[in-house]
Amino acid sequence: MSIPTQSRVVIIGGGIIGCSVAYHLSKLGWRDVLLLEQGRLSSGTTWHAAGLVGQLRSQSSMTRLIRYSTELYASLEKETELATGWKRCGSVSVARTPERMTQLRRTISAARAQGVEIEELSPKEAGDKWPVMRTDDLVGGVWLPGDGKANPADITQALARGARNGGAIVREGIRVTGIETEKGRVKAVVTDQGRVECEVLAICAGQWSRTVGQMCGVSVPLHSAEHMYIVTGKIEGVTPDLPVMRDPDGYTYYKEEVGGLVMGGFEPDAKPWGMDGIPYPFEFQLLPDDWDQFAILMENALQRVPALETAEIKTFLNGPESFTPDNNFLLGEAPEVAGVYVGAGFNSMGIASAGGAGRALAEWIVEGEATSDLWPVDIRRFAGFNNNPAWLKDRIKETLGLHYAMPWPNRELDTARPFRRSPLYERLAAKHAVFGSKMGWERANYFARNEDERTIRYSFGPQNWFETVAAEHRACREAAGLVDMSSFAKFLLQGPEAEAALQRLAANDVAVPVGSSVYTALLNARGTFESDLTAARIAPDSYLLLTGTAQATRDAHWIRRQLPEGVTLTDVTSAYAVLSLAGPKVAEILGRVSPISFDPADFPANAIRQITIGYATTWACRRSYLGDGFELYAPAEFALAIYDALHEAGADLGLMDAGYYAVDSLRLEKGFRAWGRELTPDVNPYEAGLGFAVKLNKGDFIGRDALVTARAAPRTKRLISLVGPRPDGQMAWGGEAILADGKPVGEITSAAFGATVDGIVALGWAESHEPIDQAWLDARSWTIDLAGTATPVTASLAAPLDRKQLTKGATA
Ligand SMILES: Cc1cc2nc3c(=O)[nH]c(=O)nc-3n(C[C@H](O)[C@H](O)[C@H](O)COP(=O)(O)OP(=O)(O)OC[C@H]3O[C@@H](n4cnc5c(N)ncnc54)[C@H](O)[C@@H]3O)c2cc1C
């Protein structure tokens, strides 16, 4: 059968994701959609998935997405008259250790905040729900009645039928071999059976997506790993309505299938696959059994389900699946080529995610931008360097196991590091910096003061670095602290019309004199956040933009796509180091190394100047994310000299190195919001308490109309600051439920120990049907749910430390 020579949308890949995108595009009224599958539908990875659908994720936006999948799978059969095998059988997760039980109790708190039905179970209750398991070695469990299972191949067929019913064309046996672009936009796909022109291309090619992306210069950072399960013969007590069961301490999951069990899992040290490319054809194909790799799962399964000892093993299934560097999938418009969208790298969650992810990508295609917060899975959280195959291979050995690894607060990944290093890396390492990693950058989390602190001892309570970070925090408040913030993304926006272009993007007024800087939101047409950044005007036609470490790709994409001819954006992240100085002694220290005055009268807030420090010349800006201080944007080659000079000059004034854990506690005491935590595309500046940085009267800008409406609307959702007692057994880390008079009203977005307020300090959301103001907050009693313990807190709209001053430095 021939294929059309033209289609508005071409989707590459007929797995569950491609079919879901086609289905949802047709639901949104787009008829001119062509899906191309090189083999047969579901013949890639989808056909052999176990079919577990668990709803709860650590980010509420992701939970919402999967909850939609469960609703869709429940109704699809009726709509398409094709069976889907969907069964809302519920799931039991069990804990073998007290720490795991604490984690499950924290899950209960998060589920309460996210409105997901959940119940704590005793070991006996867990055994009642799942009678074939051993329970005498368990501490407890949780029950999620809304979880379920489905037949992946059947769902794929049902989605494809739904798409066809809506007008989409689905073609099997057609392989895409090339992608043509013109002036930065997709133009056509070339197949083994002809060429198809298109306006939009969706790469939903599963583990092949990295190679397909390379056909047009799009980075799709994923790598395959072997993933295995067994299927047993009938086992007594295993009935069709048996819930799904997960034993994360034993790395395993279980579901009923024809009276037997499917048992698989996520081993801590995974086995990468496909290093020399994925063979073609690879249709309904599996990999050889590997009982050695499976041994750790089998041993644990025998402990949990003794009946497996004698059960017949009917199938050993080993199939490749693609994994990403952070265990979240890749969704959205590729920043490299306009019109190319990606939905891939599903980390063994593709069946659970497909409904929601397919709808989200279809809406993104139709609207031209994401319609809700998809930052955790946004493909723009990565950059071209993440597509390095050697790096990917080493990293995904670890990411597969993260499914069931203990999700410790602040947990850092250990593999494929160090990756990106600041010019100060060796200096900081010599001072016993304990590094974390963000966007690949090695960043000091804190500076170990003794041997014990050189490795983080993870726990849900105060961790082993607490006192050291408190000391760094106090130095930044009471004397002077220095943080290497070189990982900030930095751009030069240049051109005669740079001011007008930025005015159109920014909610704040950026028409400031040369030598000034402005904190501003970048909003979408809905008036919600696409970014927040600092714009420093360094010449009449030139701004230095400073934005969050993780936002480099995303912000560049967002900004570039709206720039007029003649205005350019250049990423200068690697050209500049950033040294952030905070504390009352900072001006004096700078005065000792530089010939100018740093007195506020001579160097006022938000001013940016070129200064000299010894032989070095650098930008200095009076603003700080930590409180009061300066940021130095120094050419990378001068960073070491400046760093050494500052330490020499500041030693007797108490200057201390500080790390990112202190940055977090310092910014939370000041109420400074962080992109991706507090500020997302689901939130407008008024809800976020950043109305002061919106200038409605400066002229038109993106999002202005929506903000005019938002400003007049009752404020029923607000970001609030919380202060709690000094943490004892449990600490707040983010994700916990916030309760007003005992009822959940929202969740914590960021939390830390604030050494200045001497207690837990947090930001989080409160939502009500009534308008929320300080009087509303004062009229209620506030608690946060820390692993099942209601901990009293105070709630306020203003920052705990400085209720008047709501300015902000560049974002972390
Ligand atoms: C053993 C195992 C168990 C799993 N269990 C679960 C589970 O319980 N729950 C869960 O949610 N997930 C599970 N998964 C994960 C799930 O199977 C995947 O995440 C999901 O199937 C991915 O779907 P996809 O559409 O992205 O990829 P695929 O199903 O691989 O589809 C991509 C398609 O693109 C086609 N294609 C590639 N290149 C081209 C080209 N050039 N031209 C045309 N077509 C092309 C391929 O042929 C393929 O059919 C499991 C995975 C494995 C391996």
Neighbours of 309 (CB within 10 A): 8
The predicted pLDDT at position 810 comes to 33
pLDDT of residue 803: 56
User: What pLDDT, in 10s, does the model give residues 667-718?
Assistant: 999 999 999 999 999 999 999 999 999 999 999 999 999 999 999 999 999 9
pLDDT value at 110 more than 50: yes
Q: What is the pLDDT of residues 417-463, one digit of tens each?
A: 999 999 999 999 999 999 999 999 999 999 999 999 999 999 999 99
The reply to whether ligand 1 has any atom less than 6 angstroms from the CB of 25 is: no
For residue 35 and ligand 1, the question of a CB distance below 6 A is answered with: no
The pLDDT confidence band at residue 809, using thresholds 50, 70 and 90, is: very low
Residue 474 in tokens: 């106090």
Q: What is the DSSP string of 103-156?
A: HHHHHHHHHHHHT---EEE-HHHHHHHSTTS--TT--EEEEETT-EE--HHHHH
Residue 147 Cβ inside 6 Å of ligand 1? The answer reads no
Mapping DSSP to helix (H, G, I), strand (E, B) and coil, where does residue 524 land?
coil
250 Cβ closer than 6 Å to some ligand 1 atom: no
Dist. CA 23–CA 528, nearest whole Å = 28
Place of tokens 């926006």: 493
CA of 43, closest atom in ligand 1: 49
Alpha-carbon distance of 593 to 614, in angstroms, equals 7
pLDDT category of residue 114 using cuts at 50, 70 and 90: confident
Q: Is 141 in the pocket of ligand 1 (CB under 6 A)?
A: no
Instruction: Decide if pLDDT at 369 tops 50.
Output: yes
Tell me what the pLDDT averaged over the chain comes to.
Answer: 96
352 lines ligand 1 (CB under 6 A): yes
Spatial separation of the C-alpha atoms in residues 733 and 753, rounded to whole Å: 9
In the reported structure, the alpha carbon of residue 126 is separated from the centroid of ligand 1 by a whole-number distance in angstroms of: 32
Q: How many CB atoms lie within 10 A of CB 565?
A: 7
**Nearest CA-CA partner of 12 in 271, 181, 206:** 206
> Which residues lie across from 172 on neighbouring strands?
37
| Interval 300-326 mean pLDDT | 97
Q: Specify the pLDDT at position 812.
A: 32
Cβ of 45 closer than 6 Å to ligand 1, yes or no, is: yes
Query: How far lies 632's CA from each of 483, 489, 579, 650, in Å?
Result: 11, 14, 5, 16
Segment 536-561 shows an average pLDDT of 97
Q: Is 734 in the pocket of ligand 1 (CB under 6 A)?
A: no
**CA 107 / ligand 1 centre spacing (Å):** 28
Of 197-206, 581-590, 800-809, the range with the lowest mean pLDDT is: 800-809
CA distance 397 to 400: 6
Give residue 549's pLDDT: 97
Give me ligand 1 centre to Cα 753, in Å: 43
**52 CB less than 6 Å from ligand 1?**
yes
CA distance 713 to 729: 41
Among 385, 403, 586, CA closest to 482: 586
pLDDT digits (tens, 9 = 90+) for 611-668: 999 999 999 999 999 988 999 999 999 999 999 999 999 999 999 999 999 999 999 9
- 66 Cβ below 6 A of ligand 1: no
- 3-class DSSP state of 250: helix
Instruction: Give the ligand 1 atom nearest the CA of 344.
Output: 26
669 CA to centre of ligand 1 in angstroms: 45
Q: pTM for the complete prediction?
A: 0.97
> 36 CB under 6 A from ligand 1?
yes
Q: How far is CA 238 from CA 53, 84, 134, 253, in A?
A: 19, 21, 14, 14
Average pLDDT over residues 538-566: 97
User: For residue 264, is pLDDT > 50?
Assistant: yes
Q: What is the predicted pLDDT for the residue at 252?
A: 98
With a 6 A CB cut-off, is 212 part of the ligand 1 pocket?
A: yes
186 Cα: distance to centroid of ligand 1 (angstroms) = 24
Nearest CA to ligand 1 atom 18: 350
Q: Does ligand 1 come within 6 angstroms of the Cβ of 348?
A: yes
CA distance 561 to 416: 32
CB of residue 191 inside a 6 A radius of ligand 1: no
Residue 593 has pLDDT above 60, yes or no: yes
Q: Which atom of ligand 1 is nearest to the CA of 350?
A: 19
Q: Which of 45, 67, 156, 293 to mutate to test the pocket of ligand 1 (most atoms within 8 A of CB)?
A: 45
Q: What is the average pLDDT across 76-94?
A: 97
